[in-house]
Amino acid sequence: MKPTIADRFQPKLDERQAQSLYRQRPLALSPQNPQMQINGLPMINFCSNDYLGLAADPRIKQAVCDDNTAGWGSGAAHLVTGHHLHHHLLEDELADWLGVERVLLFSTGYMANLAVQQTLMQKGDLILGDKLNHASLIDGALASGADFKRYPHLDYQTLEKRLESSEAPTLIVSDSVFSMDGDLADIRQLQALANKHQAWLLVDDAHGLGVLGAEGRGSFDQFGLKLGADIALVGTFGKAFGTSGAFVAGSSVLIESLIQFARPFIYTTAMSPMNALATRTALKILREGEDLRDQLHANIRLFREGAVALGLDLMPSESAIQPILLGDSAKAMAWSEKLKQQGLWVAAIRPPTVPKNQARLRITLSAGHQVEHIEQLLAVLDHIQKNEP
């Protein structure tokens, strides 16, 4: 007798729950802000990637309300009738901001990372990815048909050895800021290795754009670099921009190749024209937002100094992502629940999102957080730590 869906999955669901690995969706009842209603309760939110506090910015909402040139739905794929003027202008404005030849929009960062690797690479090619790359980068590599090897996290000596031993067309793939550890890849080394070994380079700058570099241009600008002809940059709008969607930036040949051959671009409905307009408005604010970036970095310093003083096992991150390593999944869940009981929403990150025995609290900071929010978080963490059984 063939199994039912319940036969196959109920034991797996039960096992995940028993291991403190079960996931549930919290219900937000207010706009994305440092202070929110979550599951019907008032919370100070330390889980959002809204790094500059733009997700509920009234200027963005007003720009959308004032526009009468586009409806919410795009109605079709970009290559049919879905490519609106707001999409076109957003791509041009992003290219100008980043100093690249062209930009192509995608509905999500996941789709962008699938598209680049599936399009550029084929059977017999080689993809070399950082061990801690985002799931979308891993899935894109697996779906490409190319050979896929992972090098130890930030271990560029091992990466170079694998480049030296490869005679196939090779793509190096890395996050810029790693989403669970918060540390930064050495973009200068990655670009140098790619140039030396005639490899191509894909960098996902989701957590760097808007936060790093002049005008928030991201990790390449932070290192004083420009994108070369064989480099693809993926950026997302769901973090510092405060909207949704993603893009790929690079050469005209890269972008035209994605338009012609990338299945995740060709066979999907275009993002909302209103979202494109909202993102255009966010880009203007972001480019002029040095005060927001300064405030974010001040909040990061305040939290790190306080956490170090408390003796918390803080991971080496200078980004807005500040993980506290706890190890055990049940312990991470218990700490997260105690924080929520005190009105502080902090997520417990557990395997398989992070390696086994590396469960953690993933605290993310925003320019919108006030000093008293951070001080309250530190005080409650101190209390939890001192009263552990």
Would you state the pLDDT for residue 294? 97
Which one is the CATH code of 58-287: 3.60.40.10, 3.40.50.10540, 2.40.10.10, 3.40.640.10?
3.40.640.10
Sign of CA dihedral 266, 271, 273, 276: negative
Q: How confident is the model at residue 95 (pLDDT cuts 50, 70, 90)?
A: very high
Strands 359-364 and 321-327: antiparallel
Would you state the pLDDT for residue 338? 96
pLDDT at 388 exceeding the cut of 90 = no
Query: What percentage of the chain has pLDDT greater than the value 70?
Result: 100
Would you state the pLDDT for residue 336? 94
- In the chain, the amino acid numbered 95 is A
Spans of all domains in the chain: 19-52+290-386, 58-287
Q: How many CB atoms lie within 10 A of CB 389?
A: 3
Q: How confident is the model at residue 64 (pLDDT cuts 50, 70, 90)?
A: very high
Q: How far apart are CA 295 and CA 240, in angstroms?
A: 13
109 φ/ψ sector (left φ>0, alpha ψ -120 to 50, else beta): alpha
CB contact set of 156 (below 8 Å; sequence gap of 6+)? 186, 189, 190, 193
Listing DSSP states for 274-316 in one string gives HHHHHHHHHHHHHHT-HHHHHHHHHHHHHHHHHHHHHT--B-S
Would you state the pLDDT for residue 21? 84
Greater confidence, 389 or 110? 110
Against a cut of 0.75, is the pTM above it? yes
Would you state the pLDDT for residue 71? 83
Over residues 93-103, the mean pLDDT reads: 98
Over residues 77-81, the mean pLDDT reads: 96
Q: Does residue 352 have a cis bond before it (omega within 30 degrees)?
A: yes
Per CATH, the architecture of 19-52+290-386 is what? Answer: Alpha-Beta Complex (3.90)
| Range with lowest mean pLDDT among 17-21, 63-67, 183-187, 202-206 | 17-21
Q: How far is CA 131 from CA 123, 192, 261, 361, in A?
A: 21, 20, 28, 20
Cβ 72 vs Cβ 221: under 8 Å: no
Would you state the pLDDT for residue 387? 85
Q: How far apart are CA 53 and CA 264, in angstroms?
A: 30
Q: How far apart are CA 69 and CA 58, in angstroms?
A: 20
Q: How far apart are CA 129 and CA 159, in angstroms?
A: 9
Of 92, 70, 113, which Cα lies nearest the Cα of 272? 70
What residue has token string 């048909």? 145
Would you state the pLDDT for residue 70? 84
* Average pLDDT across the chain, whole number: 96
pLDDT at 243 exceeding the cut of 80 = yes
Over residues 133-149, the mean pLDDT reads: 97
Q: Could you report the per-residue pLDDT of 30-48, keeping only the tens digit for each? A: 999 999 999 999 999 999 9
Catalytic residues: 179, 207, 239
Strand ranges across the sheet with 41-45: 35-38, 41-45, 344-345
Q: How many CB atoms lie within 10 A of CB 5?
A: 7
Would you state the pLDDT for residue 20? 83
- In the chain, the amino acid numbered 183 is D
Would you state the pLDDT for residue 164? 96
Would you state the pLDDT for residue 306? 96
Cβ 342 vs Cβ 384: under 8 Å: no
Give the containing element (helix H, strand E) for 265. helix 263-266
